[in-house]
Structures are given as C-alpha cells and as structure tokens.
Structure 1
C-alpha cells in the first residue's frame, strides 16, 4: 500500500504555518519592491545540459533529472551509462542558473541595469535532516549590468531592511572578496591548482579551528611551505582592540600589502551601506576566510548574520562570469539569497491586526440562509470568517481555531440576528 506521507525530505504545510509563511513572503516582496526590484518567474524545469554546464557547483550533483519521454526498456539499458542520454530536463536546484538563462533570453526587453526578485521553490537531492529539505523556497534578489560597489550595497541595504521589517533588527553582513582570497593564498605560496581544495578546507575554519585546518591541508598534500606560512598567519599575535568596518579592520585581517584596489572596493561598499541604512555603525564585518561554496563567485561574497542564531540567514556574491556563458560576452552580475526557511522559524506567528478573524459556532438547527447571512455581513466589514458546527468538546474547537489564527468567536442561535463577539485568547 502506498504511504500517505509526503516524499522523504518534503513537507505538507498546515494552515497556520502557511499563513505565517505567506506573511513573511509578503513582507519580503514589499520591502524588496520598495528598493526598486521587479519580480520575475522562471520555469521549474530547465534543460539538462544547462543544469549540468559546470556553473552550479556541487548542486549539480544534487539535481533531480527528468527521464526523456518515449524511451523503452532497451533504450534505457543502452543509455544507462550516460545520464545526458536518459534525461533532457531537470528540476532547478537554485534560482541563479535560471536567472542567467532568463536574462540571456530576454535582455532586449530589460533595462540596462536590471534588478530582479525571484521567490520560488527549488529541489535538491539532499540527505534530509533537521532544517534541510529536498524542496524549499529561495528568495533571491540580483542586479545585472552594474559592476560598481553600488550593486552590492543595494543588495545588502535591501536585505537588512527586510530583516528589520520582520522584527529581526540588529543583523550584520559578513563580507569578503574572492579576489582577496586568491591574493592571500598566492601570497602564502599555494599554487593555482591547489586553491580550490584549499578553499574547501578553509571553509571549515569555524568548525575545526586553525590547527584542524592546517592538519587537513597537510593531509591534502598542499605545499608544506604554503601551509606553514598560512598557519603562522592564523596564529600571529593580535591585539584585542575593536575596529569598526573600514580600511583599518580590513588591512589588519589580511597579510601585509593587500591590493589597494580590493581594499578600496570593500571600503566603498561599507560607506554606501552606512548611508543606505542610516546606521552610525556600519553593519558589516570583514571576514578574510569567508569562502561560500559556489565556485562561480568572482568578487564580493556576503553572508547575513543575526545575533539570535549561530548560522547565517542568507548570503550571496558577485558572479560576473556566469551570464557570459550564455551570451558569449561578459555581463556584470551580483545576487543575494535570503534563507527563507530559517527566517520563518525566527519570525513570531503574528496575526493581521488590521482585520478580525472570527469563528461562528452554530447548532445543527440554524438555517443555512441565516448562517450565510451572518458570515456575509462580517466579511463585508473586513473580517475573516469561518463557520463551525458546535461540537461536544467546545474547548478543543476553540483551541484549534486560535492555533489557526482566529482571534474571536461568537455563537449563533436560530432566529437571533445579534452576535456577541468574544476573544479567543
């Protein structure tokens, strides 16, 4: 017998949870639109060749592929060793690859600098665990066609504004630049071929510490002199003084003689974010070891942090090379993605104070016409209304209604036009 449970790693969303999710989504949409971003929509399916073009990083290994139509058993056996011969489509595993294809296809109808919002489900064949699903919602904003620090600043200001609007004020953004990482690894002596593996290990710094990173780099067979130089840098004496985001903080966190161009770019982003948020303290923290896993990042990389949790609530970066894969010409692009599932868990389940939510409880003998008339009158006044037949366990009925977001109730008696509203709490 088929199970009644949803597929492993996927969820049914109950009414109260759906209400909260939609409220969070409405805030995200409203705030992003106020910052000049326009919402687009792309198909859930993309061509197999595009999803596996080497621009999606490790996510490509997690793609759900769709079997070609019309293949008989013999054709399937013949093509078993070649996934591209078995599948011609796949479910999108992120929203960035579809956006790159969208822009390449529709650029003639878009402004020179295009600011997009994409909010949609994506699918990855993850190993399910707490907080990690195989279907989940991504909330992305991207700016295409702007190679200046203004683009990064706009993304961060808008995303910090979203968190403030959701009641999660006090957020900060950890920031780094892939060019700074490359320069730093080169200065330590890591070869170009070693660096992708070195970055994977550095990304574990907050989990295994400096000793663990150095040990793993040696296990990987990285150049001993480079590992020694890197380990010496990690364990260098440092003062405990606090430095706000700016040139001093950035240069102190990097080896000596960091490229002026990269430092100036990061400082410019900080100045713009400070102006955009109106905060006296710049809500950015420079982290020279922030890596983020996507190999397509070419410049600035960012992660959204909040003091209430130890994990990031979003992130992104500049990916100037991706769209050129479809157009054959370089196009500047930078994006930021909110961790919607994590945000929903942090936001309190508030009800809409602008409209009452009322449960009308009635006996079986109340004429249907009277029930509908009562309901229609309350709806016309702006309320949300549900009809419920009285049960023996009235307390359980009221508790369930309250959990569904209803705030008041009234009982209906046959022939009585008056209703007495009582709070559910």
Structure 2
C-alpha cells in the first residue's frame, strides 16, 4: 500500500519559490527593526500548560495543541490530567516568561524581536493554518505612549520595505472600551466575555454580536447601550479626539483621553501615514490593558498586523507589573499579498558532462567571488527546454561551460537552440 505523502491537515510544504518570498520579507522586516534597536530572541515551542491556559489568551486557549505526559502507571479518568505541556499559540505569552526569567541580563527598556512558528488547532481553511509563522516586536519597560508610537512607526515602515505600503492604522484603547461597557451596565468581571464577543463584530456584524451577547446572559439594554456609545464615538475629528471622547463618554478617565491625544498627535506628524480612531476595535486577547491597534490593507479582508499594551502580563512571571507593549505582524498574510518572488541574480553554471569537475568548480568559485548566487547544474536534454526549467526554478542568468570553452554570463530570457 502506497504511503500518503501529503502534509498533516492544516499544515503545508513550502517550495523554494515560496521560501524565497518569505526570506525576502523577513530580511526587509529584520533590517528595519534592527535600525530601531530591536534585538532578536528565541523562545521554545513548548510551554507549561498552566501558563498557556492562564486566562489571558482569549479564544486561542481553546485551540492549544496539548502534550501528554509520559511514563504514567495508570491513565486518569480526566484526560487533561495527563497534560503538562502545550505548543505555543502566540509569541507574547512565551516572551513574558522569557523576560521574567532573564530580565536581570537585559537592558531597560528592552526591545525584543521574535520570528517563529506558532500552533493553533484551527479548522483548516483558506488562509488559516494550524501551523503558521508570527513576527513580533515588543517594547518592555517603557510606560509612556512612546512605545505605542514607535511600534506603529517601525512596523508600517517594515511592511513598506517588504513591499506592502498603503496600510491604515486603526487605533483604540481597552480602557476606553471598559469605560464604555461600564457605562452601559456591564460589570468589570463580565467584561472579558463581553469583549470576546464584541471582537467578532467585523465577522458576524451587530446582529450576530447581539445574538451571542444575549446568549451569554447580557441584557438588551446593555447591548443597546454599548452599540449606541460605539456609534457616537465613530467618525470623531482626529484633531479634537480627546475632548470629543470625553464629551461622548463622561466616565472616561482623563489620562486615557490624554494618552490617546498624544498618540494620535504623533501619528499625524508621521509623513503620509493613514490612521483612524476605531471604537469597534477590540483585539481578542485578554491581556491587553491600554491602547490597541491594527493595520489594515485594501488587499486583505483581515488585519495584517495587530498589537497593544499589556502592562500586567509580565507580573504573572515576575511578581511585579512591568509596562509592556507589542506588535505582531501577520506574516502569512503579508506573504500571500506579495505575488512574485523577489528578483535576484541567481546564476546557473550549466556544464557539459565531459568538462572536468575541477574546471566546473573553478568557474563557479570565480563567479561567487563577485557576490552572486551560483549553482552548478549538468547539461541535460534539449538546451532551450532546460533554460526554460531554470527560469521556472528562479534562475535569472547562466553560463554554458563546454570543453575548452566558457560562454559569457547571459540572461535567461534568451532562448538558445545549441
């Protein structure tokens, strides 16, 4: 019986042309983030299950791939009693453990850059995978809105460098949303579930949100109050945002309005950056404590990056709260929006079988000295057909090595018959 060679459901193999695009995107993003002083770190794929299920991951905690303990003498009735580890569902929760464990060796503030796979037990569908890559920067130890502004500026610049300009920043604040919910009669202890449902607004609309909130036990007055308050806060004048938010929501703390005004004022000063205050923006993670933001792009139905402030999450590891703010790029979505692999000078040394190996390698060695990407490939079959295959594989030029003769470097757009 022939073995099934397809990858596991919800995962995929990546061919060289696809990896070339991914490498190009990562290189451009890395280059920008390094200019802003962000240092790359790595954290393990596995985390203790208690950390992953600590109530701060929102709906993602239902999507954890769990790892069973080994060597038990008997199987307990509850299978969850066998679980001690899980695959990380994002990079933020591992970062907070990393910082708690290593903060004494890190600068203050600490600018972290992470890139790596995460896992969620999603229902596989177009654009949603069970294993995918996240790309995060975080600024830990900076309590002012300098953190939010720098993260937004660096990330929009990084995406433009990767080939994706034209993003729009959507900005809100969890403290604004809490004040809004409280003014509508939603108790603080019930706001977590309330926000998880409200975060689905762009997917299921107000009718869907209303139905789910009523099913969770919230009253029609509470739902109507929040919907009315959000409608009032939409379309505010960015230049008068703080005053208008205070007028629309008298319970909003002054420092929240002042922080939003400082952030929007700084965003307005960043060149051609497009941004808006969006009171419908929630972000599903339970660990956000302040400003939240997402980047949208006309080519994507979903956001291409998102993040916010989480001043209390690190305290779970360290025993004291540390100001922190982060931004995560939807790496897979960025790659999907870029159509073609980047063009680079990939050169094939196409050699006949009767050319001595040492001579072939000497030719390739000399060409590599100029900084080119050079690969040696034996001549096979019809010459024109082989050149066509080289083009398909991403080569841009070639030299033809025959006994006693080496052609000059030629572009692969040229079709030869001999």
* TM-score, structure 2 normalization: 0.90
Alignment of 1:270-281 (within 5 A): 270-275=264-269, 277=270, 279=271
Show the counterpart of 1:27.
Answer: 28
Q: 1:202 Cα shift?
A: 2.3
Show the counterpart of 2:416.
Answer: none
Show the counterpart of 2:60.
Answer: 59
Aligned mates of 1:282, 1:345 — CA distance in 2: 23
Contact persistence 1:210–1:234 (CA under 8 A): no
Q: 1:262 Cα shift?
A: 1.5
Choose from 277, 282, 285 the match for 2:276.
Answer: 285
Which range is displaced more, 367-376 or 217-226? 217-226
Which range is displaced more, 34-43 or 402-411? 402-411
Aligned mates of 2:166, 2:401 — CA distance in 1: 48
Aligned mates of 1:284, 1:339 — CA distance in 2: 19
Show the counterpart of 2:199.
Answer: 203
Q: 1:182 Cα shift?
A: 0.9
* TM-score, structure 1 normalization: 0.89
Show the counterpart of 1:375.
Answer: 364
Q: Deviations over 1:285-335 (max 9, x none)?
A: 111111111011111111111233332101011111111111111111111
Aligned mates of 2:162, 2:329 — CA distance in 1: 13
Classify 1:284/1:381 alpha carbon distance in 2 versus 1 (closer, same or farther; 3 Å).
same
Q: 1:213 Cα shift?
A: 3.5
Show the counterpart of 2:133.
Answer: 137
Contact persistence 1:149–1:265 (CA under 8 A): yes
Contact persistence 1:253–1:287 (CA under 8 A): no
Contact persistence 2:66–2:85 (CA under 8 A): yes
Q: Deviations over 1:224-259 (max 9, x none)?
A: 322333444566799xxx766343488369834344
Show the counterpart of 1:18.
Answer: 19
Contact persistence 1:361–1:388 (CA under 8 A): yes
Choose from 214, 218, 223 the match for 1:222.
Answer: 218
Choose from 243, 248, 258 the match for 1:255.
Answer: 248
Which range is displaced more, 323-332 or 374-383? 374-383
Show the counterpart of 2:6.
Answer: 5
Aligned mates of 2:107, 2:62 — CA distance in 1: 34
Show the counterpart of 1:161.
Answer: 157
Aligned mates of 2:24, 2:243 — CA distance in 1: 38
Classify 1:5/1:369 alpha carbon distance in 2 versus 1 (closer, same or farther; 3 Å).
same
Show the counterpart of 2:346.
Answer: 357
Provide the secondary structure at the position in 1 that maps to 2:248: coil
Does 1:186 find its partner at 2:174? Answer: no
Aligned mates of 2:61, 2:232 — CA distance in 1: 39
Provide the secondary structure at the position in 1 that maps to 2:194: helix
Q: 1:67 Cα shift?
A: 2.5
Aligned mates of 1:209, 1:55 — CA distance in 2: 25
The size of the alignment, in residue pairs, is: 411
Contact persistence 2:241–2:261 (CA under 8 A): no
Does 1:386 find its partner at 2:375? Answer: yes
Contact persistence 2:11–2:131 (CA under 8 A): yes
Contact persistence 1:190–1:223 (CA under 8 A): no
Contact persistence 1:143–1:333 (CA under 8 A): yes
Which range is displaced more, 391-400 or 3-12? 391-400
Q: 1:358 Cα shift?
A: 1.2
Superposition CA RMSD, Å = 2.5
Show the counterpart of 2:323.
Answer: 332
Which range is displaced more, 40-49 or 196-205? 196-205
Choose from 254, 264, 267 the match for 2:261.
Answer: 267
Q: Please, which runs of 5 or more residues in structure 1 have no aligned partner? A: none
Aligned mates of 2:366, 2:240 — CA distance in 1: 63
